[in-house]
């Protein structure tokens, strides 16, 4: 069986697979297209950043498995691969230590002027007075995101006797302390830290997370390091702050594209690297060894636990998976977007036999910024990494809810846990929510634009909401507003033809004295 490795990967992968009896071809000097054309009989493919397109897949009729030696796999057309019954895997976590050490290297290089001092000294200059540096020891370091990389960075900083402030929306206070970080808000970190290192996922949830307001809170001479994803830092806001005289040291390793070009951060970065975070011999070898082990387990014992594009059971309705994701987003909003400590999902009727397949969808819906498209085992591991206890439950009574889901989120605020509960089902192919907390019999569609308000029940509230929406030209498609007779409150779930802005939701909430108000577009 032939395994093709058309990338610069540690030879340990090829050696391991060859020792197991595989015919391994590795060559990083030829383009992947040439390699594929020369070896169309390859059954396995291991890549790093090479693009595995539909054309590449079509050129390998015997291909069964593609492994990305690294975490991200957006360079692989895994959706098309699935149509060809090809499994795609990745090796997450292999690069974490390399990135953590890169952050320390950036800090020391920036504090001690390593790059300009080397350049000018080689040119015959002697600028010792100009390069008066600073020490990392005893500095206050703020870390945004205490996942694998953030936690390793905390450990690496311990030898420098730093005060570490940590922010992670999903980590409990005690768990952050156990890691070695003092829990702090984002604002507290930006106001107090000498060095701030960002380790959050990319995507819409974190786009321009570091904005003008946070940059304005930074201490004079503070350092900002971005080794996460391009777009997390509003570089235009940073540029304006620097123009205005704000003294900020900016180090970055992330760019719009990993390619030779003039990078947009060139004029504001004190240190910029060509995405070297995972570029160490050790990380390369770790990724290689994991890729080889996964490839061997896949072909020898049929192990698909690391597959990221696995085909779902044919008799599982995809609409129920979408329902789980939608209920997660709804429940998170209804609970006030607080840190999640536990998730319980109860499966009714036929859905009970498919419980594991829902875990990735619940993760993707309930946890903002969570990785998408994981396999069940990887999704469970991701929940644990976020400090979230996950439990799939059987119904504890004999009531029938058809093929329904009940999702309970246990959220924490100021040390107090609150449970938010929603239930939903699929009706005529459409995911609907049937209950939010104590408000039952909703049966409201989850697709499209929805606004939700909880308020003290009284005449005229719905009319007020309708009038405000009418004034801005927003039409109501559907509305349900059941009353909870125990609390005396009503819950209005309103479907609109177009999205309602956050500002307008706040206006309505103030006008009706709402106890809860949020908007959701799914």
Domain ranges within the chain, ordered by starting residue: 2-93+281-301, 96-272, 312-442, 448-522
- Dihedral sign (CA 230, 233, 237, 243): negative
Distance (Å, whole) CA 242 – CA 343:
43
What CATH number is given for 448-522 in this structure? 3.30.70.260
Residue 198: name the closest of 208, 213, 387 by CA: 208
Percent of the chain at pLDDT > 70 equals 97
Q: Tell me, what's the pLDDT at 167?
A: 92
List the single range of 74-83, 212-221, 403-412, 484-493 with lowest mean pLDDT.
74-83
pLDDT in tens, 387-442: 889 999 878 765 656 889 999 999 987 778 899 999 999 998 889 999 999 999 99
Instruction: Tell me if residue 9 falls in helix, strand or coil.
Output: coil
Residues in the chain: 522
Q: Tell me, what's the pLDDT at 413?
A: 78
CA angle 279, 284, 287 (to 5 degrees): 130
Q: Checking DSSP bridges between strand 87-90 and strand 65-68, what pairing results, if any?
A: parallel
For the chain, what is the mean pLDDT? 92
Does residue 377 surpass a pLDDT of 70? yes
CB 413 within 8 A of CB 402: no
Q: Tell me if domain 2-93+281-301 and domain 448-522 are identical in fold.
A: no
Q: Classify domain 312-442 by CATH architecture.
A: 2-Layer Sandwich (3.30)
Q: Tell me, what's the pLDDT at 15?
A: 96
CA angle 459, 464, 467 (to 5 degrees): 140
CB 53 within 8 A of CB 33: no
pLDDT in tens, 89-119: 988 778 889 999 999 999 999 999 999 999 9
Distance (Å, whole) CA 43 – CA 94:
24
Q: Tell me, what's the pLDDT at 55?
A: 97
Q: Tell me, what's the pLDDT at 501?
A: 92
Per the confidence metrics, is the pTM higher than 0.85? no
CATH class for the domain made up of 96-272: alpha beta
List the single range of 12-16, 147-151, 341-345 with lowest mean pLDDT.
147-151
pLDDT in tens, 68-83: 998 778 789 988 998 8
What lies within 8 Å, CB to CB, of 379 at 6+ separation is: 359, 360, 362, 363
What CATH number is given for 2-93+281-301 in this structure? 3.40.50.720
What lies within 8 Å, CB to CB, of 513 at 6+ separation is: 455, 456
Does residue 490 surpass a pLDDT of 60? yes
Banded pLDDT at 170 (limits 50, 70, 90): low
Banded pLDDT at 349 (limits 50, 70, 90): confident
Distance (Å, whole) CA 141 – CA 131:
22
**What average pLDDT does range 328-338 have in this prediction?**
93
CA angle 308, 309, 314 (to 5 degrees): 130
Q: CA–CA distance from 118 to each of 63, 131, 349, 407 (Å)?
A: 49, 11, 69, 58
Q: Tell me, what's the pLDDT at 401?
A: 63
């Amino acid at each position: 069986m032939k395994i093709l490795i058309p990338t610069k990967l540690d030879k340990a992968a090829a050696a391991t697979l060859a020792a197991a009896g595989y015919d391994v071809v590795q060559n990083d000097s030829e383009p992947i297209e040439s390699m594929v054309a020369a070896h169309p009989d390859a059954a396995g493919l291991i890549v790093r950043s090479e693009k595995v397109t539909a054309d590449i897949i079509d050129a390998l009729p015997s291909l069964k498995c593609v492994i990305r030696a690294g975490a991200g796999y957006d360079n692989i057309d895994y959706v098309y691969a699935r149509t060809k019954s090809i499994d795609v895997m990745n090796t997450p976590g292999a690069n974490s230590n390399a990135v953590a050490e890169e952050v320390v290297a950036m800090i020391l290089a920036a504090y001690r002027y390593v790059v300009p001092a080397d350049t000018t000294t080689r040119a015959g200059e002697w600028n010792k007075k100009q390069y008066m540096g600073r020490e990392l020891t005893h500095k206050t370091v703020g870390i945004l995101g205490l996942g694998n990389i953030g936690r390793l960075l905390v450990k690496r900083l311990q030898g420098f006797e730093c005060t570490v402030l940590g922010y992670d929306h999903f980590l409990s206070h005690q768990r952050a302390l156990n890691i070695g970080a003092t829990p702090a808000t984002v604002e507290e970190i930006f106001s107090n830290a000498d060095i701030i290192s960002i380790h959050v996922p990319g995507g819409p949830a974190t786009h321009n997370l570091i904005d003008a307001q946070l940059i304005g809170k930074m201490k004079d001479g503070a350092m900002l390091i971005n080794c996460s994803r391009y777009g997390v830092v509003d570089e235009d806001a940073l540029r304006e702050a620097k123009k205005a005289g704000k003294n900020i040291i900016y180090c970055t390793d992330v760019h719009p594209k990993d390619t030779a070009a003039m990078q947009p951060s060139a004029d504001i970065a004190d240190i910029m690297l060509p995405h070297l975070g995972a570029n160490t011999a050790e990380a390369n070898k770790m990724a290689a060894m994991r890729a080889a082990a996964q490839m061997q387990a896949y072909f020898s014992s049929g192990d698909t636990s690391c597959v990221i594009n696995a085909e779902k059971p044919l008799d599982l309705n995809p609409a129920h998976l979408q329902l789980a994701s939608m209920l997660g987003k709804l429940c998170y909003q209804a609970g006030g977007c607080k840190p999640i400590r536990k998730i319980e999902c109860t499966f009714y009727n036929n859905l009970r036999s498919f419980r594991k397949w829902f875990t990735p969808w619940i993760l993707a819906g309930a946890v903002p910024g969570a990785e998408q498209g994981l396999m069940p085992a990887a999704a469970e591991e991701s929940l644990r990494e976020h400090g979230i206890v996950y439990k799939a439950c059987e119904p504890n009574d004999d009531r029938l809810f058809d093929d329904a889901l009940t999702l309970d989120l246990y959220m924490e605020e100021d040390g107090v846990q609150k449970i938010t509960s929603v239930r939903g089902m699929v009706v005529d192919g459409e995911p609907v929510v049937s209950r939010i907390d104590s408000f039952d019999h909703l049966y409201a569609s989850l697709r499209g634009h929805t606004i939700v308000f909880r308020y003290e029940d009284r005449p005229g509230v719905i009319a007020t909401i309708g009038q405000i929406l009418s004034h801005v030209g927003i039409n109501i498609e559907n509305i349900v507003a059941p009353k909870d007779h125990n609390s005396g409150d009503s819950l209005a779930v309103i479907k609109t033809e177009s999205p309602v802005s956050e500002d307008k939701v706040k206006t309505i909430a103030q006008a009706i004295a709402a106890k809860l108000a949020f908007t959701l577009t799914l």
